[in-house]
Amino acid sequence: MTAMESNNLLEVHNLKKYFPIEKGLLRRVVGQVRAVDDVSLSIAPGQTLGLVGESGCGKTTLGRCVIRAIEPTEGQVLLRVDDRQADITGLDAKELRATRRHMQMVFQDPYASLDPRKTILDIVGEPLRVNKLARGEDLEQRVRQLVDLVGLDVKYLKRYPHAFSGGQRQRIGIARALSLHPSLIVCDEPVSALDVSVQAQILNLLQDLQTEFSLTYLFIAHDLSVIQHISDQVAVMYVGKIVEQAQTEELFLNPKHPYTEALLSAIPQPDPDSLLDEITLEGEVPSPANPPPGCYFHPRCQYAQQICQEEIPPLLEVSPDHYAACHFAQELTLHGVGDLEEDSRL
């Protein structure tokens, strides 16, 4: 099946984003930062793909490349729009502006993403006004509906962002993202800056909105508990590459990549008497400007062998709908969350 024949809402093929390293007065390019390095993924309509990894691994850059907030270096992004697939990376400025109605973003910092000089009415209504979808009383009425939809009181429309809490500001950001009725929303760590109790409220709101409007999410986070709660499938990212992808339950119970195993071992256990030790990764995360030869993870991997230092492992299907980029994915027996919980009870 070719990409154009697929029913996926979003498909990313071999996406790369390299940032040049410049030096000297002449700004000579002396290297590249491989922020996103040959990433491919897909999301079915109405599903949530959780993208997880350490800080600096390229998650946010990938999300911004998907909606072309920044220009990718290479690769292809296909978004299904009105029963056809639009190549986001190949659109000119006019076509991109029209297509952006179908893809929106919820940002990590709910305060920095809102203009402090504008009221909530102006912030949520701006996409409608810019796209000439509503104005005057009609615009205000639609903003009222959006604000009410995300659980805020409509009497606050004339207030400014500083008057709201972090959770309320994120609800405003979600209302703005919903204003154009998009099919895809990129959620860039939307709850990481919020208190735990407020995180649960925002996650539940996102799930309710997804059910009501058949939304598709690319959900970026570093908290595996959040990813497990909201995602239908999970992709694990390391130094710009996807190293494992599977359905959520399958990945948590049966990881196939040593990096995923280490991440899962760091999830706090509910049993305070648990004797289970967290897997400690030796060394530092490699620089995306100078990654090691072979598998990027091999300097920190307890299972690494000679081939890991020489050849980059491809992302292959090691079991149905379960992909891993490890030379020994089918040979290793790794511990998942289920194994860890069982061990902690012994």
Question: What does the pLDDT read at residue 196?
Answer: 85
Query: What's the pLDDT tens digit per position in 181-238?
Result: 999 999 999 998 888 889 999 999 999 999 999 999 999 998 898 999 999 999 999 9
Check whether 272 has a pLDDT greater than 70: no
Q: How confident is the model at residue 276 (pLDDT cuts 50, 70, 90)?
A: low
What is the average per-residue pLDDT within 289-308? Answer: 94
Q: Is the pLDDT of residue 241 over 90?
A: yes
Which amino acid would we find at residue 248?
T
Separation CA 66–CA 72 (nearest Å): 8
- DSSP E strands in the chain: the ranges are 10-23, 28-43, 48-52, 74-81, 84-87, 103-106, 184-188, 216-221, 233-238, 241-247, 316-319, 322-324
Whole-number pLDDT of residue 82:
83
Q: Residue 57 pLDDT more than 80? A: yes
Give the per-residue pLDDT at 267: 82
Averaged pLDDT, 30-45: 94
d(CA 327, CA 313): 6
Kindly report whether the global pTM for this prediction surpasses the value 0.85: yes
The values of phi and psi at residue 326, to 5°, are -145, 135
pLDDT (0 to 100) of residue 277: 64
Instruction: Give residue 344's pLDDT band: very low, low, confident or very high (50, 70, 90).
Output: very low
End-to-end, the C-alpha distance of the chain in Å comes to 47
Closest CA relative to residue 102, chosen from 87, 122, 82, 121: 82
Confidence (pLDDT) at 25: 85
Q: What is the pLDDT of residues 135-181, one digit of tens each?
A: 899 999 999 999 999 999 999 999 999 999 999 999 999 999 999 99
CA-wise closest residue to 251 among 312, 319, 172, 192: 319
Q: Are 232 and 248 in contact (CB under 8 A)?
A: yes
Domain coordinates of the chain in residue numbers? 254-335
Residue 3 confidence class, pLDDT cut points 50, 70, 90:
very low
Residue where the block lists tokens 């290793």: 332
